[in-house]
Amino acid sequence: MSDTVTPPPVTAETEASAERSTRRRMTLNMGPQHPSTHGVLRVLLELDGETIVRAEPDIGYLHTGIEKQCESKTWQQAVTLTDRVDYLSNLSNNLCYALAVEKLLQLEIPPRAQWMRVLLVELTRINSHLVWLGTHALDLGAMSVFFYCFREREDILRLFEMFSGQRMMTSYIRPGGLALEPPRGWDKAVRRFIDAFPSKVDQYESLLNRNPIFLERTKGVGILPLEDLLDLGVTGPMIRAAGMPWDIRKSEPYSSYEKFDFSVPTRTENDVYARFQVRVEEMRQSARIVKQALEGMPEGPWKADAPGILLPEREKMKTQMEALIYHFKIVTEGYSVPAGEAYQCVEAPRGEIGYYVVSDGTSRPYRVFMRTPSYGNLQALPDMIQGQLIADTIAAMGSMDFVLGDVDR
């Protein structure tokens, strides 16, 4: 961010303490198989007793080459890869990619599709935060919260399955609109869930936020100044917990977010507990958005009117020659996207997702670059846990809420 290059505080601190202490240090290899690294993260910890002198995250164990793989798929096929970047916020990734491609295609998305996208993406946020809350609490030793969170997550996954036929790898939001027509009875199912959900959030909160042990473990832990967080590229709930109301849904609204009424929760304490509070409040706000989307859902088509890009309807294929030709072309070689480049960012559960999409005019992307929030968030780990205890590492890592697939992509 700044022009001047300052040495990272990790090494500076380490050298100072190396001079101070002549005691023998222990190097602990945490991961890649470890119960609380949530995936295959390896953290090299240099310990003085149980105090962390130096921490070095080692990533790459889950590298899938998704960005590169996108280049060998058609524009349509690449959607399925975006699911797999961050398996907990699949629809946010779908949406971001779709919006970027739509920018190149200059497609107009009908309001119904936009509102449906908002609804689904907010459900994704709830889903992701539920997994985060459950595993975070589990890491801190509170076992039962995990199961309560997964009870509600199961409901959301059932909704996703209802929409797309898939629980996790939905690929439901595609360039041009949605993959399928929303199923019959979806509104009732979503309403049933969203009416019951806010009281469930209160339940989780009551299990944790008045628990002195939980407060002891999270308050004042994992603090890093806001400037450092910004320098390291941290986004999402983590900087909102540091007092910065940065939310792309508000600052650069996409997909009709400007028409929804919601607030961006912020805290200023900047510790693990503040991040907990921000995320729990975000779940409530997401529930509000879902409710608004449900109540104000406009009528109309659920996909754009773009015959050469979206598959024609079955009926038309049987009666119109043109439709049959489009169908054949889309299925065999895909649609081509005008040459150019586009960048789109969305506010995903974990922070800011950005897709930079380059087209050379063919039916396959020339380049798809993903700016993933987990990568930026994880960068804060060494600074955040330095000088703290092993147990704080767990709390701090939990509060970052990274997904290793999202880090390595």
Partner 1 sequence: MEFYIITLVKAALIAFVLLTAAAYLVWLERKVLAHIQLRLGPSRVGPHGLLQPLADAVKLLTKEDLIPRDAHKPFYLLAPLLAVSLSLISISVIPFGPEVEIFGYRTYLQLTDLSIGVLVVLAVSSLSVYGVALAGWASNSKYSLLGGLRSSAQMVSYELPLAITVAAPLLLANTLSFRELVDSQAGYYFGIIPRWNIFQLPMPQIFGFIIFLIAAFAETNRVPFDLPEAENELVAGFHTEYSSMKFAAFFTAEYINIMTICCVATLLFLGGWQPLFPAQYGSDFVPVLVNLGAAAVALYHGLNPARPKDRLTLPVVAAVFAGIALLFLVPFLKPILVPLFWFATKTGLLVFVFIWVRGTLPRFRYDQLMKFAWTFLFPVALLNLLATSFLVAVTSK
Q: Which is closer to partner 1, CB of 30 or CB of 178?
A: 30
Of 54, 112, 125, 217, the one binding partner 1 (CB under 8 A) is 217
Q: How far is the CB of 391 from partner 1 (least distance, A)?
A: 4
Q: Where are the beta strands (DSSP E) in 156-280?
A: 173-174, 177-178
Q: Which is closer to partner 1, CB of 153 or CB of 174?
A: 153
Q: Does the footprint of partner 1 cover residue 214 (CB under 8 A)?
A: yes
Q: Does the footprint of partner 1 cover residue 396 (CB under 8 A)?
A: no
Q: Which is closer to partner 1, CB of 15 or CB of 216?
A: 216
Q: How far is the CB of 189 from partner 1 (least distance, A)?
A: 21
Q: Does the footprint of partner 1 cover residue 66 (CB under 8 A)?
A: no
DSSP state of 258: G
Q: Does the footprint of partner 1 cover residue 35 (CB under 8 A)?
A: yes
Q: How far is the CB of 318 from partner 1 (least distance, A)?
A: 50
- Distance CA(30)–CA(391), nearest Å, equals 12
Residue among 271, 239, 248, 261 at smallest CA distance from 354: 248
| Residues 136-165, mask of contacts with partner 1 (x by CB under 8 A) | -xxxxxxxx-xxx--x--------------
The one-letter amino acid at 91: L
Element (H, E) at 347: strand 340-348
Please report, for residues 12, 54, 304, the alpha-carbon distance to residue 16 in angstroms, rounded to integers and kept in the order given. 6, 12, 61
Q: Does the footprint of partner 1 cover residue 389 (CB under 8 A)?
A: yes
- Distance CA(274)–CA(106), nearest Å, equals 40
Residue among 5, 13, 3, 44 at smallest CA distance from 224: 13
Q: How far is the CB of 146 from partner 1 (least distance, A)?
A: 8
Q: How far is the CB of 71 from partner 1 (least distance, A)?
A: 39
CA atoms within 13 A on the CB side of 51: 8
Instruction: Give yes or no for a contact between 250 and 196, defined as CB atoms under 8 angstroms apart.
Output: no
The one-letter amino acid at 146: F
Number of chain positions touching partner 1 (CB under 8 A): 32
**Contacting residues toward partner 1, per CB under 8 A:** 26, 28-29, 34-36, 50, 137-144, 146-148, 151, 207-208, 211, 213-214, 216-217, 389-394
